[in-house]
Amino acid sequence: MTLGIYAGETTPLAGGAHTLIETIKAEIASSNCPHDIVVFFSDSTSAAEIRVGRVLNVNTHKRNRGSLVVRAKRKLPRLIGSSARADWFDGLLRDCRIDLLWILGPYNREVSVPYIFTVWDLAHRVLPFFPEFRSAGWTWEARENTYQKMLYKASYIVTGNEAGKREILENYPVHPGKICVVPFPVPRTCYEARSLPPSIDGIHEPFVFYPAQFWAHKNHVVLVNALRYLRDEKGVRVNCYFAGSDSGNQHHVQMRINETGMGDQIRILGFVDDTTLRFLYEKALAMTFVSLLGPNNLPPLEAAALGCPVVLSDLEGHREQMGDAALFVNPTDTQAVGNAILRILSDAQLRNELIERGKDLAEHLRRSSYFGEILKVIDAFSSLRACWA
């Protein structure tokens, strides 16, 4: 059987989405998968095809005109007066004789082959009032169209935990049996050797660290307010570093920093490379992930693997993902967030326990294989695929 993997087009600026997809691609490349694999990616600077062992990497950026057959198929409906139109990517899948396609993210593609669809979250359903789910780009309507189209026709649906599965079932009438729960993997960058020094200076300890793009739902402002609370009400100074690209809300966060007089304690670093990111995890008092959206996220797993205590928003999916390896907090309660940071600062035993629990969790996930779990689904499908030519 030939398995297709659709990786879409992400850059490091996409944050967790890029990290997750690159981690999965690396695991696929090093696997002993018994099936032929074709990975579809998009990159304007790469060759049209790259073969690595048994894995053929096809650059859709260079192939988006399709073969002669694909282009002929595309013209045929117009010649015969049909309103149907063959999607060029679907033609490419057929050219590559794909039996099953695994779509690694929530991408809207017109495909006629059986496929596995991946759901990270249902942000537009859970937090529809946030500007990023209503503005231009991937609007509420566009998101809804994607899930309505892709979920119902999917052969299987992959999500990160049981909370994610419940969200899908609560919002869309799909068969529970086709939803597969596969926990997020620990990003590969956590275990890579560092060859370069971090590209950062002027870091002052103790500090908390929040790696997140500047979306409103990432809730950076609660950390600004929490650290001011510690300074003004508790007489405790803790610095903070925000790392992530601007997705529209950075100006608002910077204005709040200025209004509260916290500019000497809080620094916006923007996008940082993997080496600097790892340095911040390893030096931080804690990683404070106060996002208002679950059901699971990658930074808590990165922190766990790198020995950084985690202060984490108390969401059902986060508790399922991290277990006892995080200090959970109401992400809208300024004092609760501040007091959680203060607990880790003042209680060395608690901090060490969180570090050890995090390392145990990361090692458990490392021993398991994300792609290995997906292969169980793929192997089950291959038995069904034998039923037709």
Measuring CA to CA, which residue among 63, 66, 36, 68 is closest to residue 52? 36
Whose structure tokens read 């766990």?
A: 304
Q: How far is CA 219 from the centre of its chain?
A: 17
SS3 6: strand
191: number of CA atoms within 13 Å, CB side? 14
- Tens of pLDDT, residue by residue over 88-141, are 899 999 999 999 999 999 999 999 999 999 999 999 999 999 999 887 678 999
pTM over 0.85: yes
Under DSSP, the state recorded for 13 is G
- Over 80: is that where the pLDDT of 65 sits? no
Measured CA to CA in angstroms, residue 308 lies from 105, 299, 319, 347, 365 at distances of 28, 10, 17, 15, 17
**Where residue 354 falls among pLDDT bands split at 50, 70, 90?**
very high
CB count, 10 Å around CB of 65?
11
164, 141 in Cβ contact below 8 A?
no
**214-252 confidence digits (pLDDT tens):** 999 999 999 999 999 999 999 999 999 999 999 999 999
Domains of the chain: 2-183+368-385 (3.40.50.2000), 196-367 (3.40.50.2000)
